[in-house]
Amino acid sequence: MSGEVCSVADPSPLSGKTDVRLSLVHLYADLMNLYGDRGNITALRRRCEWRGIDLELQEISLGERFTPRECDLFFFGGGQDREQVTVSRDLAGANGEAIIEAVSEGAGLLSVCGGYQLLCRYFRTSEGEDIPGVGLFDAYTVGGPTRFVGNVVAERLDGDEVRTLVGFENHSGRTHLGPGLQALGRVVVGHGNNGEDSSEGAVHRNAIGTYLHGPVLPKNPWLADRLIHAGLTRRYGTDAILETLDDSSEQRAHESVARTVRRAGNVRTSIR
């Protein structure tokens, strides 16, 4: 990316506005951060900066609260079962409700692996312990006998366009989506939600759950822009049009990873 500074594009009602800002809450950043998940924050920050958008970051941990109305974006990274138990207790209070409230009002959210599991209804570990979730996603997770570890390629049909997602998974939990919940994508290589039904991740309003570490946003800039768009639309109450960035180097990296993984992995049939 060239790093050119630009503002939100014409003909968005935001164009010409000089103090465009977004607030991002990083949930339990000290406990839930695996395999470079924090890089997702860097990607969001940089893609905002390049467009002249100021991203204000608030990290919250156990016992700390935030005001849902002031939050445009959330990030919730991965974590091991032990940390998930601790965080689950805290989420059972005001924070779980506040996340649901903000998402119902249009806030964007990205949750990865352990964070994603905690936003589903529950996670039953392989030891049979139930870790309650927030229930934002109508889905549940059950710990499996083996871990799903490796590179993933998934595809998502967006209108007529096939979007590719690349990333890295490492989880024992198998997540099963409720009947009305849309998957983020369809697995082409790897396991995704449960290794059975080809689904990867979940989407509810502007909230995304995924098993993809990597971190996922630098590897899939279109997903980062989808979140930024959701955040701007929530804050400014208008369908923001994002300035197109020169993503040629990101795109080359993305395509090279996708090619390598497809070549090495057991490719299931692709969407097209």
* Residues binding ligand GLN (CB under 6 A): 34, 78-81, 84, 113-114, 170-173
Select 113 or 230, whichever has its Cβ closest to ligand GLN. Answer: 113
Smallest separation (angstroms) from ligand GLN to the CB of 207:
17
Catalytic residue among 26, 171, 191, 213: 213
In the complex with ligand GLN, the residue whose CB is nearer, 55 or 113, is: 113
Least CB distance to ligand GLN at residue 113 (A): 3
Q: Please state the closest distance from residue 146 (CB atom) to ligand GLN, in A.
A: 11
**Shortest spacing between CB 149 and ligand GLN, in angstroms:** 10
For ligand GLN, the closer CB: 20 or 184: 184
Whether residue 6 lies in the annotated active site: no
Catalytic residue of the set 71, 113, 120, 204: 113
The smaller minimum CB distance to ligand GLN, of residues 87 and 242, is found at 87
Q: Please, are residues 33 and 111 in contact by the beta-carbon 8 Å criterion?
A: no
Indicate if 113 belongs to the active site. Answer: yes
Q: Which residue, 78 or 201, is less far from ligand GLN as judged by CB?
A: 78
Minimum distance of ligand GLN from residue 66's CB (angstroms): 22
Point out the residue whose Cβ comes nearest to ligand GLN: 78
Q: Mind telling me the catalytic residues?
A: 113, 213
